[in-house]
Amino acid sequence: MSEIIRLSAAALAQKLQSREVSAVDATQAHLDRIAAVDGSINAFLHVNTEEALLVAAEVDKARADGDTLHPLAGVPIAVKDLIVTKGQPTTAGSKILEGWHSPYDATVIRRLREARMPILGKTNLDEFAMGSSTEHSAYGPTRNPWDLDRIPGGSGGGSAAAVAAFEAPLALGTDTGGSIRQPGAVTGTVGVKPTYGGVSRYGAIAMASSLDQIGPVSRTVLDSALLHEVIGGHDPHDSTSLTDPVGALVEAARRGEVKGLRVGVIKELSGEGYQTGVLNRFAESLELLRGAGAEIVEVSCPNFKYALGAYYLIMPSEASSNLAKYDGVRFGLRVVPEGAPTIERVMGATRAAGFGDEVKRRIILGTYALSAGYYDAYYGSAQKVRTLIQRDFNAAFTQADVLISPTAPTTAFRLGEKLDDPLAMYLNDVATIPANMAGIPGLSLPNGLADEDNLPVGIQLLAPARQDARLYRVGAVLESLLEDKWGGPLLAQAPEIAGVK
Amino acid sequence: MTAVHDEVLSFDEAMEKYDPALGFEVHVELNTRTKMFSSAPNGFGDTPNTNITPVDLGLPGVLPVVNRVAVESSIKIGLALGCKIAERSHFARKNYFYPDTPKNFQTSQYDEPIAYDGAIDIELADGTVFTVEIERAHMEEDAGKLTHMGGATGRIQGAEFSLVDYNRAGVPLVEIVTKPILGAGRRAPELAKAYVAAIREIVKNLGVSDARMERGNVRCDANVSLMPKGSTTLGTRTETKNVNSLRSVEHAVTYEIQRHAAVLDSGAAIVQETRHWHEDTRSTTAGRPKSDADDYRYFPEPDLVPVVTNDAWIEKLRSELPEPPAERRKRLQADWGYSDAEFRDVVNAGVMSSVEDTVAAGVSPAVARKWWMGEISRRAKIADLEPAELGVTPELIVELNALIESGKINDKLSREVLDGVLAGEGTPAEVVEARGLAVVSDDGPLLEAIDGALAAQPDVAEKIRGGKVQAVGAIVGGVMKATRGQADAGRVRELILQRLGVEG
């Protein structure tokens, strides 16, 4: 395996800057890796070979000319196929957008282009980001590089798997209820959901607008901070985007510190329903932090028990409206039924053929929750729960500087295992959903392998809104303590991928 | 359209038995430079689907951004309608599938409008004033425009296919909703027309809308219900959609009152529904049933933050409001000393502002009125234009008037001078010079003409000599004819009398 693809983004950026490695070679190495392993992984829906190499060549030329470049110039990246890109298809993992090309770039894509980061391609996801396993993609499931019979998490399984399989050093994900963090946990990678409004949503195909957030996917905490600084900051195209500067996140990741820090263990997010191996690794991580000078305290968030229920009312409600635009009139799939088709029948047939079962399930759920006579009981009550969750967090953050929990209750489950049991699938997001409901930032990093199945386990850090830097400061310390213990990154322990060409 | 004619009662009979209640939803298109939620131009009549951005097409991933100017225009409308302005208002999504609505939801304000609880006084032609209470004025976006091809009715049902133009999608709208208007009685149709006219005038005066009803800048949905005389319980209403001229508003309300009365008289119930207005037959036909259970699944628009106002902002906008039209009319009539009839004529001819500008430029109100109601209106009628569209400036009228008052030209010649100026021949003075239109003021040639005229009509000359001074007109006419109208008639009269040795 080429050494280039094993490098962290930060290390690769160094070698590019010193011209030890060319951007074309770096990009080509990753394209080669994709060609070699993606037949087994299926992380990519589209590989952007030509454009990526073109951008890389431009970076090499600019660097040779002595131009001042962004520190990440030439570092390739993969993009979740929920984010629109000019010059490449964007499918959202759905048949309804098959073959559609966006005429505009998402704001985050514009920022990647400004930084001259070659885009390797678009990664697989659950259709419209609805799922926790990437099995709901209309283009086949993505497989977990640790075990090809297992799911890579979801909805951003493609981005997490691509990074875990060394197909890309960095990727963009989106996180509505855990779609960056839970795939990170089950693939042994790092994923960050920034503060709501911290990264522009313009060009991220909406599932649930009040919960969606774009964020970084990487193999190290520092790499996520580097990417976060590229994509973060105010965007006038997104009214909900924060006006604050993105903050010194890279600085925070480089100067990790936990001495005297109060780390709050959320009582409600552990114990029953959590796999033994997950709980064991969690306890060990707490010990490491304590050993490094952190104060471990227990906090209680009593309303978290309603979070999942409220989430599954708010998210489908917003999704039912956001997905109304897919009707065959202006773009994407159009199905014209037999006979004399009326506009209603064309819309109906298009949506019937274009949407998968999970999407339909959520549209129906959301339409019901918003309908007259039910609105107060469902959507209205769910919004009240949301306020209660925010209050729980506010109270917890008076006792602790960061909060901590396992990222997901289990390690990666087997493909198909929960496909017929939506509720079991939904429960996988129980620990990640509260952060979206409150708009606060969260970071997941790998903290070991579960004893019983030798699969990666993730740990989640949560900080108050706009305190994303705190996550990087603590995350970097924990990462370094863990790697000292393991004698290297967790991914070094991953098995070789079967079927490599 | 299908020519199904409903039974109607005569208006008089309907009014003997029932009291009407009215209600209006008037949509005003704002004339902002860009759309409500995007940077696309807000223009009328452009090539279809050119004034669009990804936002207006509702493409995947797009987000709306509120147009600040549209918010300010909405606040101004609210203030002009005497409304309270919300400190915090919110957009909501109104969800329904229709191909002219790119996102299949309309972004609108629902339970938190920008303006609420207002009232305006509506003055009818005879001076009677009705106060109409305003429930709310809220911001929303317009839909695209559908053209249904190949069907008999021009409606979506039966069409072979439909074309859609999204240029209008996302154009900012303010919807003004009244509370139920009671007590208008038989003047309900007249009040309906006057109300819509007042709204149109207010938004035009504010400069926030082009207010051209024929372009759909102001669109009216008229609600009508009847209650038996003496009752205080509102009857079932119908909503006649898109009544888009002042005349139609009056007719539609009249028709619906007559139709409701016939239905109620027959013992049947009014069906709560929308009605389509047909100007050609001056009647309505049933649209879709409308019940309070219409389910648009409203919920707060999560992509937009609340619109938050503050006193300083509102007061600044209030200070920018122009004088309200009704107050302005009162002031101008008093300033000009016109009679009620004279003033009404000026208003109805649409030349009030032109008269105002012309007076300001330096002629008397009487002279300004003479020009705008006379020569200019005559020309406008022939050209099928508004008087103000002819290109006659207040300064031109001042110059023409100065030439008349100095005796250089007379009224008749001034029209020729106007012809020349409008034909681009130069200033009035230049036209007079070039066309040789100056009144003959040298007495020499005049005396010659007078002598000729006197010789031609010796009997008349004799009568004048004998003291019948009023007969002088015949000689003046002869002189004017001989000088091709270029003489100053007053001077001619003087000279004739002098010539005949008669005191004028």
**Angstroms from A147 CA to nearest CA on chain B:** 33
Q: Which residue among B61, B65, B95 sits closest to A205, beta carbon to beta carbon?
A: B61
Q: Measured between alpha carbons, how far is A143 from A122 in angstroms, rounded to an integer?
A: 16
**Which pLDDT band holds residue A185 (cuts at 50, 70, 90)?**
very high
Number of folded domains in chain B? Answer: 3
Give residue B270's pLDDT: 95
Same structural domain, B311 and B393: no
Percentage, residues of chain A above pLDDT 70: 100
A69 neighbors A153 (Cβ within 8 angstroms): no
User: For the residues B132-160, what does the mean pLDDT come to?
Assistant: 88
More confident residue, A422 or B118: B118
Quick check: is B22 in a domain? yes
Of B321, B319, B300, B296, the residue nearest B89 (C-alpha): B300
| Nearest residue in chain B measured CA to CA from A207 | B61
Average pLDDT, chain B: 91
Give residue A288's pLDDT: 98
Give residue A456's pLDDT: 98
User: For the residues A73-80, what does the mean pLDDT come to?
Assistant: 98
Does residue B102 register a pLDDT over 60? yes
Residues of A in contact with B56 (CB under 8 A): none
Percentage, residues of chain A above pLDDT 90: 94
Residues of A in contact with B58 (CB under 8 A): 325, 330
Q: Which residue among B105, B162, B298 sits closest to A324, beta carbon to beta carbon?
A: B105
Give residue B4's pLDDT: 54
Range from A47-56, A290-299, A429-438, B418-427 carrying the lowest mean pLDDT: B418-427
A282 neighbors A272 (Cβ within 8 angstroms): no
Quick check: is B423 in a domain? yes
Same structural domain, B155 and B283: yes
Same structural domain, B204 and B304: yes
Question: Are B299 and A102 within 8 A, CB to CB?
Answer: no
Q: Which residues of A are catalytic?
A: 80, 155, 179
Task: Give the domains, in start order, of chain A with CATH numbers.
Answer: 4-302+387-493 (3.90.1300.10)
* Residue B468 belongs to domain with CATH number: 1.10.10.410
A12 neighbors A224 (Cβ within 8 angstroms): no
Name the DSSP letter for residue B87. S
Same structural domain, B294 and B215: yes
**Angstroms from B37 CA to nearest CA on chain A:** 10
Residues of B in contact with A318 (CB under 8 A): 299, 302
Quick check: is B1 in a domain? no
Same structural domain, B39 and B82: yes
More confident residue, A443 or B350: A443
Mutate to test the interface with B, among A110, A201, A313, A327 (most CBs of B within 10 A): A327
**Which pLDDT band holds residue B291 (cuts at 50, 70, 90)?**
low
Residues of A in contact with B62 (CB under 8 A): 202-203
Give residue A242's pLDDT: 97
User: For the residues A333-348, what does the mean pLDDT come to?
Assistant: 92
Angle at which helices B472-482 and B489-500 pack, to 10 degrees? 120
Q: Which residue among B60, B104, B303 sits closest to A84, beta carbon to beta carbon?
A: B60
| Nearest residue in chain B measured CA to CA from A321 | B95
**Which two three-digit tokens encode residue A395?**
């109270």
Helix/strand/coil for B429: helix
**Which pLDDT band holds residue B5 (cuts at 50, 70, 90)?**
low
* Pairing relationship of beta strands B145-149 and B129-141 according to DSSP bridges: unpaired
The whole domain housing B92 covers: 11-317
User: For the residues A463-488, what does the mean pLDDT come to?
Assistant: 98
Same structural domain, B114 and B170: yes
| CB contacts < 8 A (A, B) | 102
Quick check: is B326 in a domain? yes
| Amino acid at the residue B72 | E
| Nearest residue in chain B measured CA to CA from A315 | B302
Q: Measured between alpha carbons, how far is A213 from A423 in angstroms, rounded to an integer?
A: 23
Residues of A in contact with B65 (CB under 8 A): 236-239
Same structural domain, B230 and B152: yes
Question: Are A239 and B57 within 8 A, CB to CB?
Answer: no
Average pLDDT, chain A: 96
ipTM of the prediction: 0.96
Helices (H), A273-356: 276-291, 307-322, 343-354
Question: Are B95 and A343 within 8 A, CB to CB?
Answer: no
Buried b / exposed e over B359-381, threshold 16 CB at 10 Å, is bebebebebbbbbbbebbbebbe
User: For the residues B441-464, what does the mean pLDDT come to?
Assistant: 83
Q: Measured between alpha carbons, how far is A215 from A192 in angstroms, rounded to an integer?
A: 6
Q: Measured between alpha carbons, how far is A382 from A375 in angstroms, rounded to an integer?
A: 10
Q: Which residue is associated with the tokens 């009593």?
A: A302
A462 neighbors A439 (Cβ within 8 angstroms): no
Range from B18-32, B58-72, B298-312, B467-481 carrying the lowest mean pLDDT: B467-481
Q: Measured between alpha carbons, how far is A367 from A363 in angstroms, rounded to an integer?
A: 6
Same structural domain, B307 and B411: no
Give residue B408's pLDDT: 82
More confident residue, B439 or A328: A328
Residue pLDDT, tens place only, B235-287: 999 999 989 899 999 999 999 999 999 999 999 999 999 999 998 899 999 98
**Angstroms from B40 CA to nearest CA on chain A:** 13
Q: From B387, B409, B435, give the residue that closes a domain.
A: B435
Does residue A447 register a pLDDT over 50? yes
Q: From B291, B317, B343, give the residue that closes a domain.
A: B317
Q: Which residue is associated with the tokens 């957030």?
A: A213
Helices (H), A371-467: 381-399, 422-427, 433-438
Neighbours of A3 (CB within 10 A): 9
Max avg pLDDT among A50-64, A369-383, B320-334: A50-64
Mutate to test the interface with A, among B303, B304, B307, B308 (most CBs of A within 10 A): B303
Quick check: is B369 in a domain? yes
Quick check: is B96 in a domain? yes
Does residue A431 register a pLDDT over 60? yes
User: For the residues B122-133, what does the mean pLDDT come to?
Assistant: 90
Quick check: is B5 in a domain? no
Same structural domain, B313 and B327: no
Range from A99-108, A177-186, A429-438, B273-282 carrying the lowest mean pLDDT: B273-282
Does residue B504 register a pLDDT over 80? no
Quick check: is B88 in a domain? yes
**Which pLDDT band holds residue A100 (cuts at 50, 70, 90)?**
very high
Give residue B457's pLDDT: 87
Count Cα neighbours of A386 within 13 Å in the Cβ-side half-sphere.
19
Q: From B390, B410, B435, give the residue that closes a domain.
A: B435
Does residue B406 register a pLDDT over 90? no
Give residue B3's pLDDT: 44
| Nearest residue in chain A measured CA to CA from B304 | A239
3-state helix, strand, coil in chain A (%, to 5): 45, 15, 45
User: For the residues A349-354, what does the mean pLDDT come to?
Assistant: 98
Same structural domain, B407 and B300: no
Question: Are B297 and A371 within 8 A, CB to CB?
Answer: yes
Give residue B2's pLDDT: 42
Does residue B443 register a pLDDT over 80? no
Residues of B with CB under 8 A from a CB of A: 54, 57-66, 93, 95, 97, 99, 102-105, 156, 162, 164, 293, 295, 297-299, 302-305
Percentage, residues of chain B above pLDDT 90: 65
Q: Which residue among B97, B102, B304 sits closest to A239, beta carbon to beta carbon?
A: B304
Give residue A108's pLDDT: 98
User: For the residues B443-454, what does the mean pLDDT come to?
Assistant: 83
Same structural domain, B447 and B429: no
**Angstroms from B152 CA to nearest CA on chain A:** 16
User: For the residues A243-272, what does the mean pLDDT come to?
Assistant: 94
Q: Which residue among B60, B95, B103 sits closest to A92, beta carbon to beta carbon?
A: B60
Same structural domain, B464 and B359: no
Q: Measured between alpha carbons, how far is A61 from A486 in angstroms, rounded to an integer?
A: 40
Neighbours of A348 (CB within 10 A): 17
